[in-house]
């Protein structure tokens, strides 16, 4: 299905934004910590045409029979439902969070298509939000910078969609660059682009989509966030970002076991992000493997967000020669990543697929991704 088939005419402009892989730094973002994602060469495309009235109409390739419309004057989270909230929510958040005056703005017809896998932990949702945010910002001539648009995307996801996510996904999708990671301080929103240099080192990132789907707007993610906020309150800090590894013995005395393990994951994960940035700069990508594995073990044992399929993907990749591997994304399903030698990619992918079959799991989708440019007008 295409824009033309749905609306009966051709779009006037296309914007696209990438999904992301988080190299390291999981569940640190909403704790004011550090993350290290990169934009990937899988993108969501928003085809758009201006309307003469003040109505937003939205359709997508994933649900081509459904065209949803909402007047700009009626934008409200209680009027949004399902995947279209990712589009309507951006217009609403531009007004409510960024203070954009939409009173004289025209509506659009929007058609969304994507090759970012849904439910795989590669942030298909932020790809929609960021492509649409960049488009609306340009076409309505709002003049907002990309860091502001990232906050708009997060505000929309938190308050229109109802998923309590941090700002990492939107920052990666808007700020990503070729063969580089985005080092983001989630408290200050300061960013630095750090060379990954995978190409020069003969390395690739292999993604294993377990096809175990997760949903951030429900249970497990919120429970982890609540634990982190409780831990910070007991420790007397604004956010877990304010604790260091040296604070963990005191935390063990003050917190119940489960909350302590949640806190320990975030505190040690923040340190692993800093260590990974330093290692990439000083020694290159072949030296970060142990940090990736330690991150996975922490998510599995302390944060308890892995699933058996993710653990099998990581262990199998490592047994067959990966430099490092870990689950990526919010957990409870989704994808694992493995940093692999280019020539070993096929063998590792085959080994993982065989291991899933032997365990009786659903066949995973295995593919490579490359660090790519962020959101753009195409």
CA 348 to chain centroid, in Å, comes to: 25
Domain termination residue (choose one: 162, 194, 226): 194
Domain termination residue (choose one: 160, 194, 228): 194
Q: Any idea what DSSP says for residue 161?
A: I
To the question of whether residue 159 is assigned a binding role by annotation, the answer is: no
Q: In which band, very low, low, confident or very high, does the pLDDT at 275 lie, cut at 50, 70 and 90?
A: very high
Indicate if 58 and 120 belong to the same structural domain. Answer: yes
Residue 376, in any domain of the structure: no
To the question of whether residue 60 is assigned a binding role by annotation, the answer is: yes
Closest by CA to 203, choosing from 339, 326, 320, 316, is: 339
Cα–Cα distance measured from residue 304 to residue 298, given in angstroms and rounded to the nearest whole number: 8
Indicate if 23 and 93 belong to the same structural domain. Answer: yes
CB atoms within 10 A of CB 294: 18
Q: Which residue has the higher pLDDT, 215 or 274?
A: 274
Instruction: Specify the pLDDT at position 215.
Output: 56
Active site residue 169: yes
Residue 351, in any domain of the structure: yes
Q: In which band, very low, low, confident or very high, does the pLDDT at 216 lie, cut at 50, 70 and 90?
A: low
Indicate if 190 and 280 belong to the same structural domain. Answer: no
Token pair 């699933």: residue: 307
To the question of whether residue 27 is assigned a binding role by annotation, the answer is: yes
pLDDT in tens, 225-268: 999 999 999 999 999 999 999 999 999 999 999 999 999 999 99
Indicate if 207 and 173 belong to the same structural domain. Answer: no
Indicate if 165 and 222 belong to the same structural domain. Answer: no
What does the mean pLDDT of the chain come to?
Answer: 95
Residues sharing a CB contact under 8 Å with residue 5, sequence separation 6 or more, in sequence order: 64
Instruction: Specify the pLDDT at position 81.
Output: 87
Q: In which band, very low, low, confident or very high, does the pLDDT at 208 lie, cut at 50, 70 and 90?
A: very high
Instruction: Specify the pLDDT at position 321.
Output: 98
Indicate if 62 and 174 belong to the same structural domain. Answer: yes
Tell me the average pLDDT across 81-92: 94
307: CATH: 3.30.70.890
Indicate if 124 and 254 belong to the same structural domain. Answer: no
Q: In which band, very low, low, confident or very high, does the pLDDT at 164 lie, cut at 50, 70 and 90?
A: confident
Q: Which domain holds residue 131?
A: 3-194
To the question of whether residue 122 is assigned a binding role by annotation, the answer is: yes
33: CATH: 3.30.230.10
Percentage of the chain surpassing pLDDT 70? 98
Instruction: Specify the pLDDT at position 217.
Output: 45
What pTM was estimated for this model as a whole? 0.88
To the question of whether residue 119 is assigned a binding role by annotation, the answer is: yes
Domain count, the chain: 2
Cα–Cα distance measured from residue 86 to residue 80, given in angstroms and rounded to the nearest whole number: 9
CB atoms within 10 A of CB 217: 12
Indicate if 205 and 146 belong to the same structural domain. Answer: no
Residue 27, in any domain of the structure: yes
Q: Which two tokens stand for residue 363?
A: 């066949």
To the question of whether residue 324 is assigned a binding role by annotation, the answer is: no
Instruction: Specify the pLDDT at position 220.
Output: 86
Residue 374, in any domain of the structure: no
User: Among the options 32, 169, 209, 270, which is catalytic?
Assistant: 169
Indicate if 71 and 159 belong to the same structural domain. Answer: yes
Indicate if 227 and 180 belong to the same structural domain. Answer: no
Q: In which band, very low, low, confident or very high, does the pLDDT at 352 lie, cut at 50, 70 and 90?
A: very high
Residue 228, in any domain of the structure: yes
Indicate if 131 and 275 belong to the same structural domain. Answer: no
Q: Which residue has the higher pLDDT, 218 or 242?
A: 242
Instruction: Specify the pLDDT at position 65.
Output: 79
Indicate if 281 and 168 belong to the same structural domain. Answer: no
Domain termination residue (choose one: 194, 212, 239): 194
Residue 23, in any domain of the structure: yes
Residue 375, in any domain of the structure: no
Q: Is the pLDDT of residue 218 over 70?
A: no
To the question of whether residue 227 is assigned a binding role by annotation, the answer is: no
Residue 203, in any domain of the structure: yes
To the question of whether residue 296 is assigned a binding role by annotation, the answer is: no
To the question of whether residue 76 is assigned a binding role by annotation, the answer is: no
Instruction: Specify the pLDDT at position 118.
Output: 77
């Amino acid at each position: 299905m295409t824009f033309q088939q749905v609306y009966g005419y051709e779009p006037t402009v296309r914007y696209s934004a990438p999904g992301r892989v988080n190299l390291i730094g999981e569940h640190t973002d909403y704790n004011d910590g550090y993350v290290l994602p990169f934009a990937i060469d899988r993108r969501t495309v928003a085809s758009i045409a201006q309307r003469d009235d003040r109505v937003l109409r939205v359709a997508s390739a994933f649900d081509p029979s459904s065209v949803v419309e909402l007047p700009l004057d009626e934008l409200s989270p209680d009027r949004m439902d399902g995947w279209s909230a990712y589009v309507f929510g951006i217009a609403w958040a531009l007004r409510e969070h960024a203070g954009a005056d939409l009173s004289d703005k025209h509506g659009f017809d929007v058609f969304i298509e994507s090759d970012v896998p849904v439910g795989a932990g590669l942030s298909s949702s932020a790809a929609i939000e960021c492509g649409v945010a960049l488009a609306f910002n340009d076409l309505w001539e709002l003049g907002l910078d990309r860091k502001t648009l990232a906050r708009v995307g997060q505000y929309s996801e938190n308050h229109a969609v109802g998923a309590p996510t941090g700002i990492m996904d939107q920052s990666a999708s808007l700020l990503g660059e070729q063969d580089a990671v985005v080092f983001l301080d989630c408290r200050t929103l300061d960013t630095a682009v750090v060379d990954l240099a995978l190409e020069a080192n003969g390395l690739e990132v292999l993604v294993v989509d377990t096809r175990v789907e997760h949903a951030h707007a429900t249970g497990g993610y919120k429970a982890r966030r609540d634990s982190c906020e409780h831990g910070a309150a007991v420790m007397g800090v604004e956010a877990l970002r304010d604790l260091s590894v040296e604070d963990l013995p005191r935390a063990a005395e003050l917190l119940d076991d489960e909350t302590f393990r949640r806190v320990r994951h975030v505190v040690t994960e923040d340190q692993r992000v800093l260590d990974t940035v330093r290692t990439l700069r000083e020694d290159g990508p072949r030296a970060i493997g142990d940090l990736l594995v330690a991150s996975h073990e922490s998510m599995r044992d302390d944060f308890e967000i892995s699933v058996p399929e993710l653990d099998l993907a990581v262990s199998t990749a490592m047994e067959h020669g990966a430099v490092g591997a870990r689950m990526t994304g919010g957990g409870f399903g989704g994808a694992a990543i493995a940093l692999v030698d280019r020539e070993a990619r096929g063998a590792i992918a085959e080994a993982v697929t065989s291991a899933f079959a032997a365990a009786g799991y659903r066949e995973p989708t295995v593919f490579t991704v490359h660090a790519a440019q962020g959101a753009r007008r195409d």
